Structure 1
Amino acid sequence: MASYAPAKGQGHVYILSKQAAAQVGLVDLATLSVAGSRPRTVAQSAWLLGPLHNPIPQDCYLAQITVPVEILQVYAASRGLTDTNTLFPSPAEDPMLKALLGLPWEEIKTASSLPGLPAFKRTLELPEYHPSFVKIAPAQIAFYRGTRILDTQDSIDGDSQGGIFVEIPDMVLYGSIQQARPLRFPSIEKLVEENGTVAFEAPVLIKHASLGHLPLYQKGVGVMPRGPGLFEVCELTVEHPGLELTGAGFIRGWTYRKQSNGVWAREARSSDCTCDNAIVHDQHISALHIAEDFLDEPEAFD
């Protein structure tokens, strides 16, 4: 739990130039709003600066104001900022925070761990300003112990052909390519040709906010052969209520055809996913680019 209490002494306010900060990277987080709710991005009129590989450039700073804390407290109160909740809304008001607190928990593995009595911590450690203790956790909270699909399942729903699993680092799912690249995947094509469907499985569970009410998680991506030079790229999803991985399946994806120059091109088919969300399927392609790099040079991911 985190909290704020009145203090005495000197307070500091830094004024930054939006124009200079924009050269580094500046995002207005207050635009990330959800109708009928009050996420902290809106409550704080928040901005995000970065990505930063070094300290904030000096030309971003316009001023530093140093005054007694009492003056800042009076100033905040005059604008209705009287308690923690005004800047840090509870999960009941903030669906973004609720989604982040709903991420899978990961097992704590130490030399002092007790056999048969696993302990877990949040995957993302967030300071909390409101009690969130529950005596019995609901099924949609996953306590993940590194279980692989083949540890509990003989096959994957949605794959009638069978194939192989390829274990990949979590960077394949969490990472993103820095610039657009031609869709060339010779190493992946070779795996598909030799084995049929290829399921790239990561050692993590990824929770999509839209599925927060269900115990469903992304665990990888899949590539399925759909004919000569034709490939379906889809999401590998698992069902993981509580402690157990109880199911696995492929979510319908988008289809791509290999052109004469070796580059894949989107070829819409009636059997494709109908979500019409290019961002989701572009992320699958981004994961394939990183998976291709991993197959070519696995030691670079150590």
Structure 2
Amino acid sequence: METVNCQTTEELLNFFNSLAPGALFRGQTKEYLRADGGPDLRTSFDRHGCIPSRMLKWWHYSRAILSTYVKGFDGLTDLATDQAILQHYGWRSFFLDATADPAVACWFAANSYRSEPCGEMIEDCFEDPLFVVRQRAWYETADDRGCIYVLSRKALRARDLQTVDLVEITTASGRHRCLVQSAFMVGPLHGPLPDDCIMTRVFAPSSVFRSYAARFSELTCEALFPGPAMDPVMASLLSIPWVKREVEGDGIGIDFFDRGLPLPEYNMKDICRTGQTTAYYRRFWLADAAKPETLLGETTFYLTEETLFHSTGAGDLIFPNLTHLLRERTSVALEIDGLVRHPYAASSGQYGKGIYLEGQEDGTMLLTELAVDYFGTRPGGFGITRGCYFRVDDESRWHRIEHPEQCDCGRDAHHAHQLVVAEHFEHALREREFAQIRERVFAAAGVDSTSDPLALKWMD
């Protein structure tokens, strides 16, 4: 590994010009070293650890957003592309950030990341007051010695490490930050990046890196981290429902809400008031609102945590417990404690609340989504969407069949995920994770089965 020290912008320019095409770069405001003195380049997952429930939620939304906005993305692609959204919008992955543009690396070597929580009193679409908590983020000029690592693609290949060009994530409109930053993902990594993948370490005063980056007027924080008006990925992430912060004791006069997925926000603007497409989720259960005269009046509800909806599955469609249950009870709803915002429905007030299953007279099974309208802090109407139909064989394996009433939305990944949720439902039934709490209502252990009084009032 070569070490180069540059004291002027001209020296830095000459160094970059001397490199063969195809190198990758990573800029940092300081170098971190291992105990043996080697460079310690680790992934965000390695540095900060994992919160499984939040990781699954990030992963689910990243795939949903990519399949909605990215050309040719079917929701079934490689791990690196899936994790690009996590990494570049504030969460964690098994991959290391890099760029194909040395000027971008220089900008990151000359500017230090900062963030802080902040709160704001706002109104929802009904002018109901509430308090929102966000994470403000910005970069400030560094005044020290920065570092850029020049990575060898050949050495990375020899180590079976991917170098995924995120410019391939091309949205139909707008510009997401991966494209603006000429971003690459390197990995997956378990531990630090091997030293032999680093061709050169380049050190220079922060002012020299900053001077090099300043030669390109488009390299600003506003450009590198475009807001929701320009970046459809950021807009989708910001549309995920807020979640009420539970506070011990009686009410404090006003409710606090956190983003459903916490993420740093650059160039933050005051909110003041939000429209009908922004939801502030208070815990409520459709099981409490499904009166005998309503659509779901005879449905048996199973209440569970939101995590179950965002989990992954093995694709095993053998459902003996679900099959038996549907032949006994006709219709069943697995309801989650949360709202699911589908990116393609970001301009509407409709959200997912779980899955709905119904046995048909001919022995087939309907699988679809449990849906609810939600505006501001208030739930509204609820029901089910059109879904898919399945034939069950003697081994309780479900086979998709054509049906005149089936959904024709063309979103195969959306319906495939409903099967994943059904798979986890089957597992929970097999493990007897649900206990009956009243007639036609069961709840998983640890689930708070009570509805927020205000939400229940508005639902009634």
Deviations 1:103-140 (A, max 9, x none): 11111123377444211111112211123322222121
1:11 is aligned to 2:146: yes
Secondary structure, aligned partner of 2:344 = helix
Structure having greater relative contact order (Cα 8 Å, sep ≥ 6): 2
Matched, 1:41 2:178: yes
Q: What is the identity, as a one-letter code, of the residue corresponding to 1:271? A: E
Residue identity opposite 2:354 in structure 1: G
> Would the alpha carbon gap of residues 197 and 141 (structure 1) be closer, same or farther in structure 2, given more than 3 Å must change?
same
Hey, what does 1:266 align to over in structure 2?
Answer: 400
Matched residue, 1:150: 287
> Which of 163, 172, 182 is the matching residue for 2:308?
172
Change in 2 beyond 3 A, CA 1:207/1:164: same
Q: Which amino acid aligns with 1:30?
A: V
CA distance in 1, matches of 2:368, 2:188: 29
Partner of 1:214: 348
Deviations 1:1-45 (A, max 9, x none): 222122211212234455637945665433333233111121122
CA distance in structure 1 between the partners assigned to 2:290 and 2:343 by the alignment:
25
- Whether the 8 Å contact between 1:156 and 1:249 is mirrored in structure 2 is no
Task: State the shift of 1:229 in Å.
Answer: 3.2
Query: TM-score, normalised on structure 2?
Result: 0.59
Give 2:144's aligned amino acid.
G
Could you say which residue in structure 1 is the equivalent of 2:455? none
Residue 242, structure 1, aligned to residue 242, structure 2: no
In 2, Cα distance between the equivalents of 1:200 and 1:110?
27
Deviates more, 1:80-89 or 1:269-278: 80-89
Q: Once the two structures are superposed, what CA deviation does each residue of 1:166-197 show, in whole Å capped at 9, x if it has no partner?
A: 112222210111x432x111111122122111
2:352/2:369 contact within 8 Å kept: yes
- The match for 2:16 is none
Q: String of CA shifts for 1:190-225, please: whole Å, max 9, x gaps.
A: 221221111110111111111111111111111111
Instruction: Compute the displacement of 1:67 (Å).
Output: 2.5
Q: Which of residues 217, 224, 243 is equivalent to 1:80?
A: 217
What SS is found at the alignment partner of 2:146? strand
CA distance, structure 2, for counterparts of residue 236 and residue 136 of structure 1 = 29
- Of 166-175 and 77-86, more deviation after overlay is shown by 77-86
SS of 1:288 mapped into structure 2: helix
Structure 1 runs (4+) greater than 6 angstroms displaced: 155-158, 299-302
Q: What does residue range 175-190 of structure 1 map to in structure 2 within 5 Å?
A: 175-177=311-313, 179-181=314-316, 183-190=317-324
Residue deviations 1:149-176 (CA, integer Å, cap 9, x gap) = 13344379766x8321111222221011
Greater Cα shift, 139-148 or 72-81: 72-81
Q: In structure 2, do the counterparts of structure 1 residues 130 and 233 end up closer, same or farther at CA, with 3 Å as the change threshold?
A: same
SS at match of 1:82: coil
- Give the alignment's Cα RMSD to 1 decimal: 2.8
In structure 2, relative to structure 1, the CA distance for the partners of 1:254 and 1:39 (3 Å cut) is same
CA distance 1:232–1:48, shift in 2 (3 Å): farther
User: How many angstroms apart in 1 are the aligned matches of 2:183 and 2:295?
Assistant: 42
Which structure has the larger Rg over C-alpha atoms? 2
Instruction: Using the aligned pairs only, state the percent identity.
Output: 27
- The reply on whether 1:107 has 2:241 as its aligned counterpart is no
Residue 142 of structure 1, CA deviation: 0.9
Separation in 1, partners of 2:179, 2:445: 37
Letter in structure 1 aligned against 2:239 = G
Which amino acid letter does the alignment assign opposite residue 260 of structure 2? T
User: Any unmatched runs of 5+ in structure 2?
Assistant: 1-135, 435-443, 447-460
Unaligned residue ranges in structure 1 (runs of 5+): none
From the superposition, tell whether residues 156 and 235 of structure 1 become closer, same or farther in structure 2 (CA, over 3 Å): farther
